[in-house]
Amino acid sequence: MRLTQVSYVAALRESSVILGAILGWRVLGDPLGEQRVSASALVATGLILLAVAMQG
The CA distance from 51 to 37, in Å, is: 21
Mean pLDDT for the chain?
80
Instruction: For residue 18, give every residue at least 6 positions away whose Cβ sits within 8 Å of its Cβ, in sequence order, or none.
Output: 40, 43, 44
User: pLDDT of 31-52, one tens digit each?
Assistant: 888 888 888 888 888 888 877 8
Instruction: Give me the amino acid identity at 48.
Output: I
Q: What angle do CA 28, 31, 32 make, to 5 degrees?
A: 115
pTM, whole model, 2 decimals?
0.64
The domain spans of the chain are 6-55
DSSP 29: -
Note whether 49 and 14 are within 8 A (CB). Answer: no
